[in-house]
Amino acid sequence: MSKISKVAIVGGTHGNEFSGIYLIKKWQQQPQLLARASLQVETVFANPKAHAENKRYIDADLNRQFSAQSLADYDLANYEQSRAKALHQQLGPKANPNMDLVIDLHNTTSNMGPTLILLEQTPFYKQLAAYVKMQMPEAVIFLEEAEDDMAQHRFLASCGKYGVLIEVGPQPQSALRQDILEQMERMTGYILDFVDLYNQQAVPELPKLLEAFLYLDTITLPMDEQGERLAMVHQHVQDNDFKPLNPGEPLFRTFNGEDIYYEGNKTVYPAFINEAAYYDNNLAMSFLDKVYIEVN
């Protein structure tokens, strides 16, 4: 087992997600709050220009620019594509990263509570998730689609040897809620605690099985041929992130007042329901499966 010595905590990857941005500012004033015996922790403000303009991004979503292919393509030169290359130098490179762990802080307008998003399902990640869940039972564990090759992962957190996202909501864009900020701060603290215990080979006994949600698919709003939306997320689904959606239950409500039903053949667990940031692409929600993973 190699130690996880260098940790980067990244805020403001999306410029209008305020919890991470204000936590970074707070921790820069009070670095002792991040101090753990076996770790070096640094803070990174990923997209200050987008934050200054109070927007998610200037030219393109920063958190989709980190595939090895994009990072190697110097014709991709807009602000976020350039910023990604700079951050990859700072946190990566993926082949031999400066950072052992990258914690990327995000907010959602969806009712997802404090969610820990894992990029892979190796033993380190599973133990980390089990520890966080043990300390913070309200935490939700979200498993990203498995990538055969992490080098091609598009997320900022994939720059580190390990990478996780903390995604906390509901919080409107450009607003700062005390409850959401405190959930993010607590989850970040538990992650640092775990890594310190892991380095000292002092991880406590963890539950053997962990409930988690595995990403399946992303669902689009119903549209007409001119690209106009025909419907909105149904109130039967709204705010029910990580709750079961069964075949035959209402999914959308058209502007004519008709219901559109979920026609799949298995129960799914939606998340990022009606996320405001996904309105550019008319995404309605993600579907996930509920799974139990073995912690070993």
Q: Which residues of 114-126 are buried (b: 16+ CB within 10 A; e: fewer)?
A: bbbbbbbbeebbb
Taking the complex as a whole, how short is the minimal distance between the CB of residue 178 and a copy of itself, in angstroms?
Answer: 4
The residue among 8 and 181 lying less far from a copy of itself, judged by its C-beta, is: 181
32 belongs to the binding site for a copy of itself (CB under 8 A): no
Among 13, 63, 109, 286, contact with a copy of itself (rule: CB under 8 A): 109
181 lines the binding site for a copy of itself (CB under 8 A) = yes
d(CA 259, CA 237): 12
Q: Would you count residue 235 as binding a copy of itself (CB under 8 A)?
A: yes
Residue 28 or 40: the one with the smaller Cβ distance to a copy of itself is: 28
Smallest gap from residue 47 Cβ to a copy of itself (A) = 17
Query: Considering the rule CB under 8 A, would residue 275 count as an interface residue with a copy of itself?
Result: yes
State in angstroms the smallest separation of the CB of 172 from a copy of itself.
4
Phi, psi (rounded to 5 degrees) for 63: -80, 20
Of 1, 2, 29, 149, the one binding a copy of itself by CB under 8 A? 29
- Quickly list H helices, 35-122: 48-52, 68-72, 79-91
CA–CA distance, 33 with 25 (Å, rounded to integer): 12
Q: What are phi and psi of 43, to 5 degrees?
A: -110, 145
Q: Which stretch binds a copy of itself (CB under 8 A): 74-82, 98-106, 154-162, 232-240?
A: 232-240
Nearer to a copy of itself, 50 or 212 (CB): 50
Q: Is 274 in the site for a copy of itself (CB under 8 A)?
A: yes
Cα-to-chain-centroid distance, residue 238: 20
Q: DSSP letters of 118-154?
A: ES--SHHHHHHHHHHHHH-TT-EEEE----S-GGG--
228 binds a copy of itself (CB under 8 A): yes
Does position 30 interact with a copy of itself (CB under 8 A)? The reply is: yes
Q: Given candidates 276, 283, 289, 291, which one binds a copy of itself under the rule CB under 8 A? A: 276
Phi, psi of 187 (to 5 degrees): -65, -40
Contact at 8 Å (CB) between 157 and 99?
no
Q: Which residues pair with 245 in a beta bridge?
A: 268
Neighbours of 44 (CB within 10 A): 19
Of residues 110-169, those binding a copy of itself (CB under 8 A): none
Residue 8's alpha-carbon distances to 35, 37, 87, 155, 183, in angstroms, are: 12, 16, 11, 14, 19
Considering beta carbons, is residue 51 or 85 the nearer one to a copy of itself? Answer: 51
DSSP class of residue 249 equals S
Size of the site for a copy of itself (CB under 8 A): 33
Q: How far is the CB of 235 from a copy of itself (least distance, A)?
A: 4
Contacts (CB under 8 A) with a copy of itself, residues 41-100? 54
Question: Does residue 13 belong to the site contacting a copy of itself (CB under 8 A)?
Answer: no
Residue 279 CB, shortest distance to a copy of itself, in Å, is 5
Residues at the site binding a copy of itself, with contacts judged by CB under 8 A: 22, 25-26, 29-30, 54, 109, 170, 172-179, 181, 228-229, 232-235, 238, 253, 255-256, 274-277, 279-280
